[in-house]
Amino acid sequence: MLFGLFVPHLTFKESLLFSTTCALVVHAIYSRYEVQPSSYTPTALLLVLPPIYSAIFYHQSVPSVSLSILISFWVFYGALLTSIAAYRLSPMHPLYRYPGPLVARLSKFWMMHITAGSKMNEYIKSLHDRYGPYVRIGPNEISCVDMDAMQDIFGPSGMPKGPIWDARGNPDKARMLVALRDFHEHSRQRKPWNRAFSTSAVKDYEPIVAKRVRQLADTLENTFCNSKVGVDITQWFGYFSFDFMGDMAFGGGFELMNDADKEGIWKRMEARVKNLAPLMHIPWATRLLLKFPSITGSVSKFREFTIACARRRKEMGSSTKDLYYHLTNEDGAQLETPNVESILSNGELAIIAGADTSANALSGVFYYLLTHPRELSRLREEVDRVFPRGEGDAVDASRLAGMEFLNAVINETLRLQPALPTYTQRAPAKGSGGHWLGQRFIAEGTAVIAPIYTIHRDPANFWPYPDQFRPDRWLTKHGGKAEWRTNTNAFMPFSMGPANCAGKNLALAEMRTVVAVMVQRFDIEFAQGYDPRTYEEKLEDKFIVQVGELRVSLKTRQ
């Protein structure tokens, strides 16, 4: 009776109509005014108040308060979800004409499920094999492998980073470089990174690379040569890359090759990568999920570790011209004072990009060489010719850079196993209204990915044997076969454009040295009892590619 003094009396059918209308209005508000789910207060008001208010009307027909509330929420959310689904599948949606799986068009939770299954790269490739160069993989997301559109995606007049990058950092903290979505801010913060990885800077790092590679080879020779059980070379590439990254980025501080991973740093990093991957599809939930240690505890712990590393290096000052020498402006090259929070947040990027990706790529090189003994023999012949036996370790960077077959092996590995297989996402800048990809207009609010794994295995770009390890495709004479098709414009393991990988040249120099010294020093084969098929079975696309065990037998070359 009290409610009757303040609200009109509605029949049960009229109450249903009121709830449905509220749901449609809420959907229209989200669509029209771009209310983001990450704006939790407006979201709560829009998603909770209408069904609570509607329950008053249901209570006029239903005596139970709890049943009135249950019916109100059920009808409101049923109508809201139906309205959303109908719009996403309707011709009114800007992506209606793009083919793709029905379930992917309805919700991003589908791609979240695919990512959790670890084979997102293979799934996206299967969609392009079925549907063609443009595939709708989300309510507001497409995947593109059209090479004519790559400059419109990644080039100087392309698009900034897409919404998934909101999930790559803490939204309440300063963003690391790779997660910046504003073109101008990214360009401003990229400048010290460019200085840190310039040609002269990379030459300064070369003696550190040589020292750490020799340490790796010596440790493996003294500890694991002639071992009956062999050694997981993936683990030791991880230790090496972490130690070198520490020298290059923070002026030292890590000795995993000497002390192993006593503090669980590498495991913490792997957990961070795997736990964060599915969440990139729901970036609006990042701020909330970071408050639940059971879900994102590994992510927060690793970030705390990287911030501590960066803070310690900043306070310590430089003894060498490492990465933080440039980021903290110790050379005085920047006119403005660097933002301290940005400096600290970039510690995470330095460690992930400098350690994880390099280690996984090196594992890939030796997996492919060991499954193709003829190519391993050809590489050894080249190494022995350029670095005659008795001359010392193959660590001369200038000679390594000119070794055609060594570089072909590395390129072919990066083609088949790129560090970021799928989600190089871009989106039209906010307020731009949209962006043209060739003759196709992409409306603002739409995200675009260019899956590198799929592009690298497209027969239109690499033929023949697009799915096979064939280093000959990178040789000047193509192994004597004129029919090889190698589209170098489609080769982008380090991305492309102004937001490409700043450390590309150093990463290649590091890989060349490790591969050459390992082939020079050791006879290498799969360890007894190891099944090589498990390597590709355990290869995971967790935004960053993750590899499993690669157990090998090492013998010192005589």
Binding residues for heme: 501
**Contact predicate 552/416, CB 8 Å:** no
> Which residues lie below 8 Å from residue 323, measured CB to CB, with a gap of 6+?
193, 196, 248, 249, 250, 350
Residue 134: half-sphere exposure toward Cβ, Cα within 13 Å = 18
Within 13 Å of residue 271, how many CA atoms lie on the same side as its CB? 16
| Separation CA 373–CA 366 (nearest Å) | 10
**322 within 8 A of 248, measured Cβ to Cβ:** yes
Q: Which residues pair with 541 in a beta bridge?
A: 545
Query: Using CA atoms, how far apart are residues 219 and 548, in angstroms rounded to an integer?
Result: 21
d(CA 329, CA 350): 16
- The tokens of 487 are what? 């589209």
156-172 exposure pattern, b = at least 16 Cβ within 10 A, e = fewer: eebbbbbbbbbbbbbee
Collapsing DSSP to helix, strand or coil, 528 comes out as coil
The stretches of 417-465 forming alpha helices (DSSP H) are 452-456
Residue 93 neighbours by CB under 8 Å, 6+ apart = 87
Report the candidate in 195, 312, 213, 303 with the shortest Cα–Cα distance to residue 257.
213
Cβ pair 460, 454 in contact under 8 A: no
Tokens of 143: 């995947």
DSSP code at position 449? E
Q: Which helix (H) or strand (E) is 441 found in, with range?
A: strand 440-443
CA angle 206, 208, 212 (to 5 degrees): 120
Residue 555 CA to residue 258 CA, distance in Å, equals 21
User: Contact, 524 vs 552, CB < 8 A?
Assistant: yes
Q: Prior bond to 94 cis, omega within 30? A: no
Instruction: Name the one residue in this structure whose structure tokens are 């995971």.
Output: 540
Number of residues in the chain:
558
**63 Cβ contact partners less than 8 Å away, ≥ 6 residues apart:** none
Contact 55, 68 (CB under 8 A): yes
Q: Give the HSE-up count for residue 407: Cα atoms under 13 Å, Cβ half-sphere.
A: 14
For residue 161, what is the DSSP state?
B
CA 266 to each of CA 27, 238, 270: distance values in angstroms, whole numbers, following the listed order = 44, 8, 6
In the block, tokens 């799986």 appear at 101
Residues placed in the known binding site: 501
